[in-house]
Chain A
Amino acid sequence: MTGEKRGFAAVIAVLFVIVILPVGWILIAFPAEPHYPVPGEPVDNAVNASGVMLAHVNDITWQIPGAMGGRSYLLEDEEGHTLVVQTQVFETAESRDAAVVTYSAHTVGKGRPIGRIMVIGHQVVYIGPDPGGIFQRIAPLLREMRIAG
């Protein structure tokens, strides 16, 4: 291998490292969510505890592989702001993770996806656009459930 080719290999190695380091660090800091049955409806519990009003709820099944059904909640705060939250149970970790990949792939432009999702055991919780800050009120309880799992 000539010196020039060694230099090329070194530069490629550096480029890999600058990608691997942050990606690796992030993956270690935020490990995979385990797939386990969650008792009850986490959003129900969080909404009840937060004092946010539940304006409407209905059953919903996302048209994606492995989705077994869940609920769509319309939450409303004292000022009339609304927030759509949907939950969906997945039969396997693979199908749940595929849903997460699908969501993450739907960025707006080169930015981020709209809304937010949380993974709690076998459930994926989708939180829609939140102009009223309602998610801030239910997030702590949802977070506890996720971390407790």
Chain B
Amino acid sequence: MSGGEALTPGTGAAPPKVLGIFALAMINVAAVLSIRNFPSMAEFGWSCIGWYTIGTVLFLIPLSLAGAELATMLADRGGGVYAWCKEAFGEKGGFTAIFCEWSNNLVWFPTVLAFIASTLSFALSPALSADSRYLFAVMMIAFWGTTAIAYFGEDISTKFQNVGVILGSILPSVLIIGLGIWWFASGATIVLPPFSPEQILPVINLSTLPFFATVILLFAGMEMAGFHALETRNPGADYPRAMAVSALIIFGCTVLATLAIAAVIPARDLSLASGVMQAIHYFFGAAEIPGAVAPMAVLVTIGGVVSLAAWLIGPAKGLGVVAEEGNLPPLFNRTNRYGSPVAVLLVQALIGTFVSLLYVFLPSVNQAYWILSAITVELLCIVYLLVFASLIKLRYSRPDAARPFRVPGGMAGVWIIGGMGAAGVIFSFIVGLMPTADFSADEAIAYVGGILLGTFLLAFPPLVFLKIKRPGWTGAGSLEEESR
């Protein structure tokens, strides 16, 4: 991916406006809708509705509304959360937000890549999922392949995501829902207990607090379309509609598909230790179409890849804007002829490859994986706290700015939406530091220390870069060196 002569400094040349409502909505759906959530949540039976409602009220709706207002207000700026938080809190706030959004991926990529590889093994040979070399090979093909798609710019990656999200996320969800309806209509045994309203209510106590925090961030990624503001044809009108469309698709598919699985598979047989494809295997076996498992594995794999693509491309674009503005050394400010931030993509791919190597080839480090997941959550909490705070702050610091979409309810509405979202992520951040019962007292100290250290190290570099920033970095790029 050298393309030396194609490299230009990121001078901010206007990218082609290729995105409409559908494409924007699909970016969010790709980032958020995941089949692997369904069997996990199905373990909760009817109360999954209550848990999903909590995630929707405390996060999905606030983030969708905040994103719609901020993206339409700052539609002429690239960088998504970077532009939003920078407008409210200056460069430190904006850079910290986008860096956390980017750096949490570095520890999360191996997770989604391992999911892709283990799911694909069901279409090839399930025994492969225990072969580290197979896992790593597929992970790298998916990772570098997706990076290559990102290299070819918005037009190609949008087409890839549009097709991929329909095939890999929406179609499998619809299939599961359809089978659930067929199961119900055929008079087969429904393993869910008879419905009653109180069964929807989730049990919230000290034991379920960690899960409560997980649910709040269940819909993380709804801001992803905001990274593509400059490529949007009519952001003022299209962005809020895209947010609404994506929120409806995500909520509808998630709730209905989860209930379909919960109705067919007894909770006792839903072992998450053996993965989502086991649940799908059971599901299609019960429906007497076991031959559908392999094609379904391919579809779910595609869904994993488009989710990876959404998270890989969006934050990298945001960090590319940071480099364009001179907050990173000039060599990071490399944009190719397709408008992609190639230097950021390359650095991201190299680090992701290294972390994936550790993830696959190190022997069983169960608790280490758990801590890395916690670090991902903590970094995301920082991002979303800054986004919700920006929504509130900008209503005071830029009261007269044109806002094609406004959070309804005036200042009270903004405080309610921003306040609920902020309270949810602060709560998630705190709960993320609480070790589970399998950690001993000594291990608990190492657990908290590991999370705090990891979160700090992955969040603080913007402050260092801003400290060592030089005037020559702004708009410098590396064209001169490349032409020599």
B is bound to A: yes
Cα(A101)–Cα(B268), bound, Å: 21
Among A16, A32, A112, A128, contact of B370 (Cβ-Cβ < 8 Å): A112
**7 A-B pairs with C-beta separation under 8 A:** A2-B481, A5-B331, A22-B453, A62-B273, A64-B129, A111-B377, A146-B438
> Does A130 count as interface, using CB distance less than 8 angstroms?
yes
Q: Tell me whether A32 and B362 are in contact in the complex, defined as CB-CB below 8 angstroms, given that A65-B126, A94-B132, A109-B37 are known contacts.
A: yes
Which of chain B's residues have a CB closer than 8 A to the CB of A32? 362-365
Q: Are A130 and B41 in contact (CB under 8 A)?
A: no
Which of chain A's residues have a CB closer than 8 A to the CB of B276? 106
> Does B184 count as interface, using CB distance less than 8 angstroms?
no
Which of chain A's residues have a CB closer than 8 A to the CB of B369? 100-101, 104
Which of chain A's residues have a CB closer than 8 A to the CB of B28? none
Interface residues on B, range: 35 or more
Which of chain A's residues have a CB closer than 8 A to the CB of B354? 16, 19
Q: Are A19 and B106 in contact (CB under 8 A)?
A: yes
Cα(A32)–Cα(B368), bound, Å: 9
Q: Tell me whether A116 and B436 are in contact in the complex, defined as CB-CB below 8 angstroms, given that A4-B481, A93-B364 are known contacts.
A: yes
Cα(A117)–Cα(B147), bound, Å: 33
Q: Are B366 and A129 in contact (CB under 8 A)?
A: no
Stretch of B64-72, B111-119, B152-160, B231-239 lying at the A interface: B111-119
Among A18, A86, A110, contact of B461 (Cβ-Cβ < 8 Å): A18
Q: Are A15 and B207 in contact (CB under 8 A)?
A: no
Cα(A103)–Cα(B370), bound, Å: 10
Among B272, B367, B377, contact of A115 (Cβ-Cβ < 8 Å): B272
Which of chain B's residues have a CB closer than 8 A to the CB of A116? 370, 436-438
Cα(A103)–Cα(B376), bound, Å: 17
Closest to B331 in A: A8
Which of chain B's residues have a CB closer than 8 A to the CB of A29? 443, 446, 449-450
State how many angstroms separate the Cβ of A121 from the closest Cβ of chain B.
11
Q: Tell me whether A7 and B41 are in contact in the complex, defined as CB-CB below 8 angstroms, given that A30-B446, A105-B111, A110-B377 are known contacts.
A: no
**Could you list which residues of chain A lie within 8 angstroms of chain B, going by C-beta atoms?**
2, 4-5, 7-8, 11-12, 14-16, 18-19, 21-23, 25-27, 29-33, 35, 56, 60, 62-67, 72, 74, 81, 84, 86, 88, 93-119, 124, 126-133, 135-136, 139-140, 142-143, 146-147
Q: Are A111 and B218 in contact (CB under 8 A)?
A: yes
> Does B104 count as interface, using CB distance less than 8 angstroms?
yes
Residues 331-362 of chain B: 1 if any A CB is under 8 Å from the residue's CB, otherwise 0?
Answer: 11000000000000001001100110011101
Closest to A12 in B: B347
Cα(A109)–Cα(B377), bound, Å: 10
State how many angstroms separate the Cβ of A4 from the closest Cβ of chain B.
6
Among A66, A102, A126, A135, contact of B437 (Cβ-Cβ < 8 Å): A135
Cα(A130)–Cα(B438), bound, Å: 13
Cα(A19)–Cα(B459), bound, Å: 11
Cα(A103)–Cα(B446), bound, Å: 22
9 closest A-B pairs by CB: A22-B454, A139-B437, A32-B363, A131-B203, A65-B130, A104-B369, A133-B207, A8-B331, A98-B130
Closest to A104 in B: B369
Stretch of B2-10, B73-81, B208-216 lying at the A interface: B208-216
Which of chain A's residues have a CB closer than 8 A to the CB of B443? 29-30
Q: Are A110 and B221 in contact (CB under 8 A)?
A: yes
Cα(A96)–Cα(B364), bound, Å: 8
> Does B375 count as interface, using CB distance less than 8 angstroms?
yes
